[in-house]
Structure 1
């Protein structure tokens, strides 16, 4: 699977561990930066990564900052990106199975790499329960909200 990753300076070290973990699992990584621990602005990296995900250049995105919420705020502004902040495997499982998220946001200041990698592994290996009507309806409603309020990239 092709996965886009991005971080700010606070998430850089964990992003590097995540890249290796995913590559070792046979995934192709598109890294949008940052590429060091120098102070940086999260939006400079998450925004283009989320655009890439929306354009279909990757199937999933993993975004890492200090607490995860900044990444989710940016990513969820982009049409077709459905990002959730998850700090443990249980939340990651629900984010995929119940909500069909395509972007995972993690806080490097909140959890260590062992839990982060377990969380990512769970999220990557959990399928959406779209054959269960209540989850399909839920995701369809969220998609309709997105279609009503966000512009497709082709319309910008």
Structure 2
């Protein structure tokens, strides 16, 4: 699977750990930066990584900042991106199985690497429960909201 990565300076170290784990598992890593811990603006990296997911140049995205919410706010502005902040494996499982998220956002200042790697493992290995009508109805409603309020990439 192709995974788009981005972070800011606060999430850089954790991003590197996660990339190492997923590369060892055979996933293709597309790193949109940053490439060091120098102070930077999150949107400079999350925006292009989000576009890669939306344009299907990456299958999923994993974005790491200080708390995770900044990445999610940026990513969810892009048509076709469904990002969730997860701070434990249970939330990661539900974000995939119930909501079919394609971007995972983590807080490098909130969780340690041990729990973060477990969250990533759960999120990466959990399938969307597309055969459960209440989840597909819920996801379809979210998509209808996007259709109403977001521009498709080919309209931008």
TM-score norm. by structure 2 comes to: 0.99
Residue segments in structure 2 that go unaligned for 5+ positions in a row: none
Correspondence for 2:148: 148
Secondary structure at 1:92 match in 2: helix
Correspondence for 2:90: 90
Correspondence for 2:133: 133
Secondary structure at 2:51 match in 1: helix
User: Could you report, residue by residue, the CA deviation over 1:118-149 in whole angstroms, capped at 9, with x for unpaired residues?
Assistant: 00000000000110000000000001101111
- Distance apart, 1:59 and its partner CA: 0.6
Using the alignment, how far apart are the partners of 1:155 and 1:29 within structure 2? 28
Using the alignment, how far apart are the partners of 1:58 and 1:48 within structure 2? 11
Correspondence for 2:4: 4
Q: What does 1:1-156 align with in structure 2 at a 5 Å threshold?
A: 1-156=1-156
User: Could you report, residue by residue, the CA deviation over 1:68-104 in whole angstroms, capped at 9, with x for unpaired residues?
Assistant: 0000000000000000000110000000000000000
TM-score norm. by structure 1 comes to: 0.99
Q: What is the root-mean-square deviation of aligned Cα atoms in Å?
A: 0.4
- Distance apart, 1:15 and its partner CA: 0.5
Using the alignment, how far apart are the partners of 2:136 and 2:38 within structure 1? 42
Using the alignment, how far apart are the partners of 2:52 and 2:152 within structure 1? 13
Using the alignment, how far apart are the partners of 2:90 and 2:13 within structure 1? 24
